[in-house]
Amino acid sequence: MFEARLANGNIFKMIVESIRELVVDVNIDCSTEELSIQCMDSAHVALVSMSLSQSAFDHFRCDRSLSLGLNLPNVSKIFKMMGRDDTMVLKAEDSADKLMLMFENDKSGTIADFELKLMAIEAEQLGVPDTAYKCSISMPSSEFQRIVRDLQVMGDTCKISCTKEGLKFSATGQIGTGNILMRQNVASEKEEDHVTIDMEEPVELNFALRYLNFFTKATPLSPTVILKMSPGLPIVIEYPIEQLGHVKYYLAPKMEE
């Protein structure tokens, strides 16, 4: 029996909204420790790695590890019926062929419950090697979202280069070239406005803006976003969910022909 109760159901709704355009049919893996998802997009260019610790839940029971095969666009439709302040309860039997979702509104006392048929999704688990990245940048997630949105006007590829000058985002297209340079900023009193750049060695990589834009759907989950890069490796873009988990996106770089 799997049963989990999340007082702030909105967190789970935001997680679904942050990945449902990138990965459609996913397994939500339930273990005694956490709910997790690891899934590549259909083109095998990006990987989503989500984790939500059992400590995020007011009640968490998982007798046996389960994989709940779900179609995220359908899950997203169900979450449209959840109130902002609702408590969310997930429930599935061990012989899981369906998932119960319940939304409880403490104030009005209403309880909505939905049953989703589960899908058998063959899991292609990937081994993601632990890497000591050469550059690690923490910045306001709203700033990253704005940069990605603005540069999409200029072209479809974003060059991200981290040097001692700072972190530069560049895009070139028919109408010209755009560059946005961010420097380390730990002066502002608001922690969330800080930009910290840890650079062990300079890195310059190119990425498809279409994917970076997908990733910024996770902006509501976290005021800060962490970018990690090493020469010739996929970038990791991490949205921490307080101390409870994260949504991480891995994106393969674009290479010179």
Partner 1 sequence: NMKQGSLLGFFTKK
The verdict on 67 binding partner 1 (CB under 8 A) reads: no
Q: Least distance (Å) from partner 1 to the CB of residue 122?
A: 12
> Under rule CB under 8 A, how many of the chain's residues touch partner 1?
24
| Torsion of Cα atoms, 210 then 212 then 214 then 217, to 10° | -150
Tokens of 55: 């400590």
Q: Least distance (Å) from partner 1 to the CB of residue 171?
A: 12
Measured CA to CA, the distance from residue 227 to residue 22 in angstroms comes to 19
Among 1, 81, 111, 126, binds partner 1 (CB under 8 A): 126
Q: Least distance (Å) from partner 1 to the CB of residue 256?
A: 6
Based on CB atoms, which residue is closest to partner 1, 109 or 129?
Answer: 129
223 contacts: CB under 8 Å, gap ≥ 6: 140, 141, 142, 192
The verdict on 15 binding partner 1 (CB under 8 A) reads: no
Measured CA to CA, the distance from residue 89 to residue 57 in angstroms comes to 10
Among 94, 113, 124, 242, binds partner 1 (CB under 8 A): 124
Q: Least distance (Å) from partner 1 to the CB of residue 40?
A: 6
The verdict on 257 binding partner 1 (CB under 8 A) reads: yes
Q: Least distance (Å) from partner 1 to the CB of residue 208?
A: 6
CA distances from 44 to 30, 64, 103 (A): 24, 30, 34
The verdict on 176 binding partner 1 (CB under 8 A) reads: no
Based on CB atoms, which residue is closest to partner 1, 197 or 247?
Answer: 247
Measured CA to CA, the distance from residue 147 to residue 27 in angstroms comes to 32
Site string for partner 1, 130-159 (x = CB under 8 A): ---------------------------x--
CA distances from 200 to 57, 86, 152, 165, 252 (A): 38, 45, 29, 13, 21
- Residues at the contact surface with partner 1, assessed by CB under 8 A: 40, 43-47, 124-129, 157, 206, 208, 233-234, 250, 252-257
